[in-house]
Amino acid sequence: MARLEGKVAIITGAGSGIGRACVELFAAEGAMVVAASRTVSKVDEVVAEVRAKGGKAISVKADVTSEADVEATVNAALAAYGKVDILVHAAGVGYSLKDTVQGSMDPVGTTTLKNWREVIGANLEGCFLANRAVLPAMIKNGKGSIVNVASILGLIGNADAHAYTASKAAVINLTRSMCVTYAKDNIRVNCVAPGWIDTPMIASVMYVFDDDKTASQISPMKRAGTPMEIAYSCLFLASDESSFCTGSLLVADGGTIAQG
């Protein structure tokens, strides 16, 4: 339980789902965690839980589409812990957005420019801002590990959510490109591509696993993954155990894309 002992980890999207699971797991593994989320009540809650278990964590209210918020998050990490070793960028939007923003998960033909920019901004520009913001601290520190959370929908075609699929594909290639540039600075940049994960982001479509036949078409394992299962994937890539991995894409989808 000390795979990240002495490490400082910034985790975005920390209020729920994969980001929250990463906060819990990384703190349990010895990291000093800076948990960032737009919803301060949720991130305060997980930080309180971490501290109650003896872990170290602080919360930061941050919208990753805001350059100022992202830079403030890094500054909070430096003020509290003096360095930044790890970034797990888990913030983003998905199918839950369509509950409040009509057309956000539509195909191109019915996607407005406003919808497109909102999804691209949250998923791609947010990733760009978070990744860029940690680079100076990591370069100064002489090392770093960045883990971006993408999706298997960045690897395969999909009938809808075209802005989402485009954003996640871009996150994957941004990760690969950054690894080439920043390897000289001893900064590793990797990516996790989850499949169907039981999070609030896809809560409205989780009914597909109620039917055994449909579930088997989605995944050979006939179930959705858990946020903690993805957190463990992030942990491997964030830790020194993956010291020869950079530009890597770890697919964690229960076999979904393997069956075509």
Residue 59 dihedral angles phi and psi, to the nearest 5°:
-110, 150
Q: Which residues are catalytic?
A: 164
Q: What is the pLDDT of residues 192-225, one digit of tens each?
A: 999 999 988 777 778 889 888 889 888 899 999 9
Identify the band that residue 136 occupies on the pLDDT scale cut at 50, 70 and 90.
very high
Please report, rounded to a whole number, the percentage of residues in the chain having pLDDT higher than 70: 100
Compute and round to an integer the Cα radius of gyration of the chain.
17
Which residue ranges form the domains of the chain, and what is each CATH number? 8-251 (3.40.50.720)
User: Is 80 exceeded by the pLDDT of residue 139?
Assistant: yes
Token duo for residue 248:
């890597």
N- to C-terminal Cα distance for the chain? 37
Please report, rounded to a whole number, the percentage of residues in the chain having pLDDT higher than 90: 87
Average pLDDT, the chain: 95
CA distances from 17 to 1, 199, 203, 222, 231 (A): 22, 5, 11, 20, 10
Identify the band that residue 7 occupies on the pLDDT scale cut at 50, 70 and 90.
very high
CA angle 5, 236, 140 (to 5 degrees): 60
Q: Using the 8-state DSSP alphabet, how is residue 228 labeled?
A: H
Identify the band that residue 157 occupies on the pLDDT scale cut at 50, 70 and 90.
very high
Element containing residue 19 per DSSP (H, E): helix 17-28
Model pLDDT, residue 156:
96
Q: What is the mean pLDDT of residues 58-75?
A: 98
d(CA 194, CA 13): 15
Model pLDDT, residue 146:
99
d(CA 73, CA 236): 23
